[in-house]
Structure 1
Amino acid sequence: MRKKIILSALLLLAGCTSTKVTLLPDATGHVGRVIVKNNDNQPVTLDNSGQTLVDGLLGEHEGQLSPADARQQRPALFKAEPAPLASETVWFPNDSVEPLSTTSNLIRRVRKDCLQRKPCQITIIGHTDGIGNNQYNMQLSLRRAQVIHDMLLHGGFPQSAMDIRYHGPFDPLIKTPSGRSQPKNRRVEIMVH
């Protein structure tokens, strides 16, 4: 008899579960759009801040909140939101793997960014400008990224938290005609997420 009561209670609780989708604004207040399927497998578009869709035994309920009300009424959701991406940029002279300026504060800044993100992942992306051939530039961008990686590694960041990528001249910050020098394209980006 006791097993039947427990099983009945579990089935009752399982029937009471629902899925709730609430559209929240980002840190700047911008609201995107999400399309979800309701109980009838029909698409429902949420495109207003705080708009909520609840599927369950009681059917669908929709509500709408202003961005300020959404933050006030659902603080746990906003607190659980990950910190936005942080980035640092290190510039390089033409055909060099030595940074243009001192990087003494770089480790401190990246560490500060990591403390705000748990777990912390670091993506290091090397770039070049369009001077020279593409194969050489790909290798140069890898070597630049490796220099910054090694600097962070020696600064105490774990290898497992870092990912190296390199784009050579193929992801310029400033687009230029092929073969043109552009100092702003000779860089390593450090993305902390």
Structure 2
Amino acid sequence: MNPTAHSTGDHRKKKDVLSAFFTQTARLSRLRSQIAALLLTTILFAVGCSTNRTRVVLLPDHDDHVGKVEVANAHGSTLIDQAGYGVTLKQQSAPAPAAPIDEKEIQKEFAAVLEKEPEAPAKFILHFKSDSDVLTDSSLARIPEIVAEIKKRASMDISVAGHSDRVGNEQYNIELSYKRAQQVSTLLQKQGVDARFIHTSSHGEGNPLIPTPDNVPEPRNRRVEVTVR
């Protein structure tokens, strides 16, 4: 057997697995933004129902992601997929195409709902020493700050996502990123955070803050991102 051909085949399989992993992660991210947008438009829809007409308005989530929502009645349907666009429904006719709604009009009509909108997620970036799951001193000092935010919100949704730079191969960096996420999770749990509320993930080198060529060290990419909702 040609060892070079065998090595190339193994590398291709690893690349395929990694590609599938990152594709699934991206799909989950898009799904989350679409669900957030849909939930918000559903609330605005309920407000519109209290009048003689029903209005549905699509707004972005806290990360400025825009989902989409289909609005339908017995006569037809229409799709809203742009932020600030809306549809006014009437029982006697099909929904008209989505049209832009003036920001002042949105604020006035849905003020009561927007005031009760959930607080934006708190985000923290922690950095690590090279080729290690050991936090830098400045990042380690931020753990109490994160714990305080979790307790203030009584959060039950804490995302801990590990990342790496592009030094080393992809599989190694996925494993290293996971170790980094696990290390932060352990530190939070030692401070009293319930493990059931912590969701860890690994992105490896696939989602850099600072794009670089392969095998170029970049300290800002050696990180864990903690999101507290």
TM-score, normalised to structure 1, is: 0.71
Are the equivalent residues in 2 in contact too, given 1:25–1:67 (CA < 8 A)?
no
What's 1:23 paired with? 57
The CA deviation at 1:46 is 7.8
Q: Give the paired residue count.
A: 174
Does residue 1:138 correspond to 2:174, yes or no? yes
Q: Is the 8 A contact 1:110 1:192 kept in 2?
A: no
Partner residue of 1:104 out of 141, 162, 167: 141
Match of 1:42 among 54, 63, 77: 77
Q: Which stretch shifts more, 173-182 or 41-50?
A: 41-50
State the secondary structure of the residue aligned to 2:148: helix
- SS at the partner of 1:168? coil
Specify whether residues 142 and 54 from structure 1 end up closer, same or farther in structure 2 by C-alpha distance, changes over 3 A only. Answer: same
The question of whether the paired residues in 2 share the 8 Å contact of 1:38 and 1:44 is answered with no
Give the ranges of 4+ consecutive aligned residues of structure 1 lying more than 6 Å apart after TM superposition: 60-64
Distance in 2, Cα, partners of 1:79 & 1:47: 22
List runs of 5+ in structure 2 lacking aligned partners. Answer: 1-51
Superposition map of 1:45-60 within 5 A? 45=80, 49=84, 51-56=86-91
Question: How far does the alpha carbon of each residue in 1:161-183 deviate from its partner, in whole angstroms, 9 at most, with x for none?
Answer: 11010122122221211111111
Determine if contact 1:86/1:113 at 8 Å carries over to the other structure. Answer: no
Change in 2 beyond 3 A, CA 1:141/1:19: farther
Unmatched tracts of structure 1, length 5 or more: 1-17
**Residue 76 of structure 2 aligns to a residue in which SS?**
coil
CA separation in 1, counterparts of 2:167 and 2:78?
Answer: 50
Bigger-Rg structure (1/2):
1
In 2, are the aligned partners of 1:23 and 1:34 still within 8 Å (CA)?
A: no
Residue of structure 2 equivalent to 1:185: 221
Shift of residue 140, structure 1, vs aligned partner? 1.3
Contact 1:114–1:120 (Cα < 8 Å) also in 2: no
- Aligned with 2:152 (options 106, 112, 115): 115
Counterpart in the other structure of 2:200 = 164
Q: CA RMSD in A?
A: 3.5
Q: Separation in 2 of the partners of 1:184 and 1:155? A: 26
Letter in 1 for 2:145: R
TM-score, structure 2 as length reference: 0.61
Q: Which has the higher contact order (CA 8 A, sep 6+)?
A: 1
| 140-149 or 166-175: bigger deviation | 166-175
Bigger helix share: 2
Question: Secondary structure of 1:87's match?
Answer: strand
Task: Quote how far apart the aligned CAs of 1:157 are.
Answer: 1.4
